[in-house]
Amino acid sequence: MSSSTRPTTKEVAAPPLAPDRLEVSTTRRAPSGRRLTSWATPWLFLLPYLVLFGTFVVAPIVYGFWISLHDYDYTLPGKPWVGLRNYTNLFDSDSITAGPFWDGMQATAIFTVFSVPLLLIVPLAVAIVMNQRFRGRNLFRAVYFAPYVLGVAVIGVLWRFLLDRNIGIVNHYMGVVGLPDDIPWLTSVPEAWVALVGVTVWWTLGFNAVIYLAGLQDIPAELYEAAKVDGANAWQRFRNVTLPGLRPVTSFVTMVTIIASVNMFGQSYLMTLGQPGTETRTVIYTITETGLRNFRMGDAAAMSYVLTLFLMVLSLAVFWLFREKKAA
Amino acid sequence: MATVVDTRPAPQEAAPAGRRRKGGKLALRYVVLIVLAVLFISPLIFMLVTSFKTRQEATAVPPTWIPETPTLQAYRDILDAEGTPVLRWFVNSMIAAACNAALVVATAAMAAYPLARMEFRFKKVVFGLIIATLFVPPVILIIPNYLIVGNLQWLDTLLAVIIPTAASAFGVFFLRQFFLSLPNELEEAAVLDGANKWQIFVRVVLPLSRPALVTLALLAFLTNWNDFLWPVYVLFSPETQTLPPGLSTLQSANNVRYDLIMAGAVIASAPVLALFVFAQRFVIEGVSRSGLKG
C-alpha cells in the first residue's frame, strides 16, 4: 500500500548546500549525483505518516477551534462568525447549551470520581498477588485481562442483558443469596452509577494490573531483601519499597485512567442510554449528540475545547501531585 | 469450572519450618484467585451459552447454564438479516481492522526509522510534535474530522474508519524506541555492501524488528476492531457498518431478543479473543511496555 513512496530510488535534486552528515564518504558515491543520502531522504520516509498526521490530527486541532468561533450548523447554508459566543453561552445559564453541557460534565465527574480510585487500588492489589511465583499464574493473568480485549460495544450489550431488572442474572443471583432481586440497575440513579462503575472496573482492571505488574517486576529484589534484613514487616516493605518503586508507573496509570474515565461514552450509550432522563449522559455523549446528531457543530466544538482545558488542568494537577511527592 | 486447587507450595517457598502455614496461605491465595477468575469469566460464558439458546430460553428465569435445546437459530437469524446483516459487518470489520493495522505499521515504521537513525534539521521538532499529540484528548478531533471526512466524501464508507486513525503517535514512539535498541553493526555492514537507506530499512531493520511490528499490528487491529464512538457516527447505513456500531443497531432493533444480541456479541468477540489466546504474549507485553514510557 504505502510502498509507492520509495524514498531513495527517487532522483532528488539536492541543493548544493545540502548537508550529507550521516554518510561515511568512503563508500560508493556515484558521480551522477545519485547520492546515498540527501537532505530529502528522512522527509521521504516521514512523508506518508506526516500526510495522515497533518490531515487528521494537526489540522483538526486548529480547524476545530475555527468551527467553535462560528454558528456552525452542518445542515444550514450560512455559518456566521460569532466570535466567542459559543463559549460564553456555555457559562450563561439562559442559553440552550449550558444546561446539557454542565449536566454532562457532572455525569462525567461522578463517574470519574468513583471509578478512578477503584481502578488504581484494585488492580494494584491484583498485581501484587500476581507478582509471586505460583502454578497457573499466566492463566490467571490472561483471565483477568480477557475482558479488556473486548470492545465497549460487546461489554455494553452484554451487561445491559445481565443487569436487566426482570430477567437479568445479576438480580437473579442476588435474590438467590437473599439480597433484593429487583434493583433497577439501568434505569435509576444511584444504581446506574454503581452498574456503570462496576462494569468498567471489571472491563479494564486487567489493563491496569498488567502495567502495575510490569512495574513491580522492575523493582530490584535486593531492595526487598535489604528491607527484610532491616526488620521491615510486609506493610513497611509495601510503603517504603513497593510504592516508591512504582511511582512512575502509578503516575502513568493514574493519568491514563483519568483520561479514559473522562472519555467515557460507550457504557452509557449502550447500557443506560443516558437514562434516567439524561442523568447518566456523559459530557462526551453530550458533545457527540450536539455535534453529530443535531449538527450544532460550533456549540459542540466549543464544548470539546472547554473539556480539553479541564483535562489539561487535571493532568497538570496529577503531574504536580506526583512530582511533589518525589521531592519530599 | 476449575475446581482443582493445587495447594502444593511452589518450590522456592517451601521453607521446611513454616511449611504448613505457607501451604494454608497458598490455598487461600488460590481460593481468592479462583473466585475472582470465575467472576471475571462467567459473564463471557453466559454470553456464549445464551447465543445457543432458543428465544424463550434466553430470557428464562431461572437462567440455564447449559442450553436445554441447543440451537444455532440465533446465528441463522442474524447473519443475513435485513437491517442487521451481521455477516456483512463481520467482513467490514475484518477489512477495516486489517487495512488500518497495515497502514499504522507501515507509516509508523517508515516515520520511526529516520527519527531513530538519521540526523536532519527539525528532527526534534517533528518528534516533539508527534509526542505532544499523545496528550491531545481525542474528543477535540471528532467534530473537525467529521467535516474533513465529509469533504473527502468518505462518510458512510469504510475509508472513514480506516484512514483518519492511521497516524499513530504511539506507533512512532514505540517503534523508534525499538529501532534505537537495535545494534548498529548490521546496518553499517549493509552500507559497506552498497545498500541505500531504503534497502537497509527493508532488508535489515524491518526483519530485525518483527516482534515489535507484530505487537503494534495486533494492538492496532484490536483498537480498530473495537472502536465504537467514531463508527457510530460516521457509518450510518446497515451495509457499511462495522460490528461495534452494528451491535448497537442490533440492540435497538431487537429489544429483548437476547438470543440474537448475544449471538452478535459472540461474533464480535470471537476473533479478538482468539487473537488474544494465540498472541497473548505480544498483546500483554505490548500493553505493559506502553506503561513504561511514563
pLDDT digits (tens, 9 = 90+) for B23-60: 777 788 888 889 989 999 999 999 999 999 999 999 99
B interface test, pick of A5, A158, A295, A310 with most B CB neighbours within 10 Å: A158
- How far CA A116 is from CA of A120, A122, A135, in Å, comes to 6, 10, 31
Domain CATH number, residue A232: 1.10.3720.10
Pair (A135, A267) in one structural domain: yes
* DSSP reduced 3-state for B267: helix
Q: Has residue A87 been placed in a domain?
A: no
Domain CATH number, residue B261: 1.10.3720.10
Pair (B139, B69) in one structural domain: no
Q: A323: pLDDT confidence band, cut at 50, 70 and 90?
A: confident
Pair (B145, B63) in one structural domain: no
pLDDT above 80 (res A160):
yes
Give mean pLDDT, residues B95-102: 98
Pair (B230, B214) in one structural domain: yes
- How far CA B33 is from CA of A130, A135, A163, B43, in Å, comes to 9, 12, 24, 17
- For B39, half-sphere exposure in the C-beta direction (CA atoms, 13 angstrom radius) is 13
Q: Has residue A76 been placed in a domain?
A: no
Pair (B174, B43) in one structural domain: no
Asked which of B78, B112, B135 is the last residue of a domain, the reply is B78
Of residues B217, B191, B220, the one with CA closest to residue B205: B191
Domain of residue B119, residue span = 81-291
Pair (A107, A29) in one structural domain: no
The neighbouring-strand residues paired with A296 are A73
Asked which of B48, B78, B108 is the last residue of a domain, the reply is B78
Q: Has residue B36 been placed in a domain?
A: yes
Cα separation, B192 vs B164, whole angstroms: 40
pTM for this model (two decimals): 0.86
Pair (B143, B275) in one structural domain: yes
Name the DSSP class of B134: G
Q: Has residue B4 been placed in a domain?
A: no
pLDDT the model gives residue B15: 43
Contact A49 B135 (CB under 8 A): no
Q: Has residue A85 been placed in a domain?
A: no
Pair (B151, B276) in one structural domain: yes
A and B: number of Cβ contacts within 8 A = 316
Pair (B149, B272) in one structural domain: yes
A-chain CB neighbours of B192 within 8 Å are 27
Pair (B30, B169) in one structural domain: no
Give mean pLDDT, residues B257-275: 95
Domain of residue A225, residue span = 98-327
Q: A20: pLDDT confidence band, cut at 50, 70 and 90?
A: very low
pLDDT above 80 (res A164):
yes
| Facing B146 at nearest CB: one of A49, A292, A307 | A292
Minimal Cα–Cα distance from B140 to chain A, Å? 5
Of residues B67, B65, B41, B42, the one with CA closest to residue B55: B67
Contact A61 B141 (CB under 8 A): yes
| Facing A288 at nearest CB: one of B225, B233, B247 | B233
Q: Report the domain count for chain B.
A: 2
Q: Has residue B2 been placed in a domain?
A: no
Minimal Cα–Cα distance from A93 to chain B, Å? 23
Q: Report the domain count for chain A.
A: 2
Q: Has residue B255 been placed in a domain?
A: yes
Pair (B98, B238) in one structural domain: yes
Q: Which of A19-33, B66-80, B153-167 has the lowest mean pLDDT?
A: A19-33
pLDDT digits (tens, 9 = 90+) for A201-236: 999 999 999 999 989 988 998 999 899 898 888 899
State which residue of chain B sits closest to A296, comparing Cα positions: B143
B136: contact with A, CB 8 A cutoff: yes
- How far CA A207 is from CA of A119, A124, A204, in Å, comes to 10, 11, 5
Grid coordinates of B266: 459472540
Q: Has residue A295 been placed in a domain?
A: yes
Q: Which of B1-10, B155-164, B166-175, B241-250 has the lowest mean pLDDT?
A: B1-10
Report the Cα B149 to chain-centroid distance in Å: 24
Give mean pLDDT, residues A133-145: 87
Of residues B70, B273, B222, the one with CA closest to residue A158: B273
Cα separation, A181 vs A172, whole angstroms: 6
Minimal Cα–Cα distance from B193 to chain A, Å? 9
ipTM above 0.90, yes or no: no
Q: B289: pLDDT confidence band, cut at 50, 70 and 90?
A: low
Residues 6+ apart with CB under 8 A from A229: none
* More confident position, A22 or B189: B189
A-chain CB neighbours of B279 within 8 Å are none
Mean pLDDT of chain B: 88
Could you give the residue ranges of the DSSP H alpha helices within B52-138? 55-58, 73-79, 86-117, 123-132
pLDDT digits (tens, 9 = 90+) for A45-76: 999 999 999 999 999 999 999 999 999 988 88
Give mean pLDDT, residues B238-257: 93
Q: Has residue A77 been placed in a domain?
A: no
Contact B248 A136 (CB under 8 A): no
pLDDT above 60 (res A7):
no
